[in-house]
A and B are shown apart, each in its own frame.
Chain A
Amino acid sequence: MREISYRDALKEALREEMLRDPTVFLIGEDIGRYWGGAFKVTKGLAEEFGEERVRDTPISESAIIGVSVGAAMTGMRPVAEIMFGDLTTLAMDQIANQAAKIRYMFGGQAKVPLVIRTPFGGGVNIAAHHSQCLETWFMHVPGLQVAVPSTPYDAKGLLKTAIRNDNPVIFCEHKLLYPIVGPVPEEDYTVPFGVADLKREGTDVTIIATLYMVHKSLNAAEALQKEGINVEVVDPRTLVPLDKETILNSVKKTGRVVIVTEDCKTAGVSAEIAAIIAEEALDYLDAPIKRVTTPDVPIPFSPPLEQYVIPDEKRIVKAVKEVVY
């Protein structure tokens, strides 16, 4: 199979969906012909589809999402880009109070088929305003769906599903994933929501990881294999809906769990997954559930400090060894 980057996989998904469905359009800051998006995901699409369908906006996240919600309610399928995940906070009323609730509050008479693409994550030395992982904020709002693709294959397949989905989807990308290359079929395919993926099969311990942490966990698993520890890596791929069954089955098989996510520990993605395991698979746990996350601090600008707070392979290996005894 051919290999393309995560960035190009996303672009292909956008392009193919725009060709397939004329109601799909893109909207965001600097996504058009002059810049092609801060991370170049939309580069070339304005030239192909014109400025009507690839709309540059003023710097107002609230306006981008407000306009998108209205367009979605009237039959369009907007894909909005928020340049940095941190800046979704500026549009939070539109997302959490409008987009998420409309379908419920109008008894299903209106729906909001909106996708908000946005990159999260640190590791590129752009400090506290541009490095957070806020997936859990959206998990906490009923009505929103949250996708967290970690590979080019998942990115393309999940984005297509998101665009065809009648609910608002927060499509979480990660800055360090854009250049990552992986196999992506040339033919049309989708990845369903709520179906986790075993990124690596193992028998001794389950690592549940999302986004860039999937790759760090796979590296850690490789290192642990040399020491005779056989690691299974589960990637939920969507946090809402969450594939509990795959997670629980893996835990029941190994009896030991390490959850690796880049967001903060308190009330984070890892907390929700740990709670589900404790509620539904307690009798299968052979060791306490371990979490490897960013501590509860803003991401530091200093590169050594940033490296220190964001989970790395060493911390993952250490956590695994703490539960495999």
Chain B
Amino acid sequence: MAVKIVMPKLSLTMKSGAVVQWYKKEGDKVEKGEPIVEVLTEKVTYDIEAPTSGVLRKIFAKEGEEVPVNGLLAIITMPDEPLPEIEEEKVKKVVRERILASPAAKRLAREYGIDLSQIVGTGPQGRIVEADVRRYIEEKMEYKPKIREVIPLVGIRKISAERVALSIKNAPHCTLGMEVDMSEASKLKESFGVSYTDIIVKAVALALKEHRMLNSTLKDGEIKVFEDINIGVATATPQGLVVPVVKNADKKSLSEISSEIKTLTQKAREGKLEKEDFSGGTFTVTNLGMYGVEFFTPIINPPEAAILGVGKITKKPVADGEEVKIKPMMTLSLSFDHRIVDGVPAAKFLQKIKEILENPTLLQKC
């Protein structure tokens, strides 16, 4: 049986929506519950799911097209079923009525995101003037801040938004902080000409070898512990946050890791990362130290089990035996999925990282 997909009414005031993108082509098989098209209202983007399984027989609204609420978007049929005849009026597009309004009224309405058709004009021929919009704002609207611009949630921003929300929703986060003496690491940094991130990635990879539970994922009632240790490095780019992955970091030398991170971050900033570059991560390192952050609560990059936040290195007076010495200190912030491990194993893992970073002989293995 043929099933119509129409523009849903997603809010009380919604009159129409725009088709952002089709996930399926005409003729594609669709499963019930599978997202088939993304639509955009003035406030949100929304995925419409297939109401039934079958074949996406015909698409009536192209990408970018504005369709009124209940307007026809597509028809799903059984594989062999012919396309039913459609009454033409149902496919009707939005016809914009000309609303008489002064430029000042239009500007104010735009700034507050008000639909002018809601307002009664008091000017000549019912023209809406600024005072009419102002009255509407005062009488009809709850106080709303003035809108400066509307940015559709698309691309990396959209993916990030979905992933962090998913992570926080599914994985009970717990964050541990631990201070590390970076004296030895800074010597290593100087002599090898590598970055702190490079050293930390290597130290994390080595620590994960002994604490495998932190290198795992929880799915469908099973904890899968990974053999590969692939460390993602969170990288800020003009387009948004991306996480290129250093694969098998435990098996690579510090200089190999360093040059790989250099290449990956360069590619990330130029927006040239390929799918291969950011897939397969099992653990993520995120460094906000260069922005002056000491401690934070990173959000786990799903479906991983944990993430390590790196803070700023600060010279501080610390007790060394009975003496006070000035040392470069850094705080690590480990967020982990409490469903997978408890506090003690996570703390031991963090201790291990600390031990490696503070110990010249262990660092040599880096």
Contacts and interface: CB of A to CB of B under 8 A. Distances in A.
Given A325-B122, A325-B123, A325-B124, A283 B106 contact: yes
Interface string B120-135: 0011100001110000
A286 B107 CA distance: 10
B343 interface: no
Nearest to B105: A286
A283 B102 CA distance: 8
B103 interface: yes
A131 B107 CA distance: 43
Contact of A285 (B102, B122, B131): B102
B236 interface: no
- Among A284, A286, A325, the most chain B Cβ lie within 10 Å of the Cβ of A286
B104 interface: yes
Interface residues of chain B: helix, strand, loop or mixed (majority): helix
B103 A284 contact: yes
Interface string B77-110: 0000000000000000000000000111111000
Give the bracket for the number of chain A residues in contact with chain B: under 10
A31 B326 CA distance: 90
A90 interface: no
Contacts of B124: 325
A128 interface: no
A124 interface: no
A223 interface: no
B129 A325 contact: yes
Given A286-B129, A287-B129, A255 B104 contact: yes
A283 B129 contact: no
A92 interface: no
Nearest to B104: A286
A285 B106 CA distance: 10
Contacts of A284: 103-104, 107
Interface in A273-316: 282-287
Nearest to A278: B103
Nearest to A255: B104
A286 to B, nearest CB: 4
A248 B262 CA distance: 52
A155 B331 CA distance: 73
B122 A283 contact: no
A287 B102 CA distance: 6
Contacts of A325: 122-124, 129
A287 B106 contact: no
B148 to A, nearest CB: 15
A89 to B, nearest CB: 39
A284 B123 CA distance: 16
A204 to B, nearest CB: 11
Contacts of B129: 286-287, 325
A275 B187 CA distance: 69
- Among B103, B105, B123, the most chain A Cβ lie within 10 Å of the Cβ of B103
Contacts of A285: 102-104
B123 A283 contact: no
A287 to B, nearest CB: 6
A255 B103 CA distance: 9
Interface in A245-292: 255, 282-287
Given A255-B104, A286-B105, 10 more contacts: A283-B104, A283-B107, A284-B103, A285-B102, A285-B103, A285-B104, A286-B102, A286-B103, A287-B129, A325-B129
Interface of B: 102-107, 122-124, 129-131
6 interchain residue pairs of minimum CB distance: A286-B104, A283-B107, A286-B102, A286-B130, A255-B104, A285-B103
Interface of A: 255, 282-287, 325
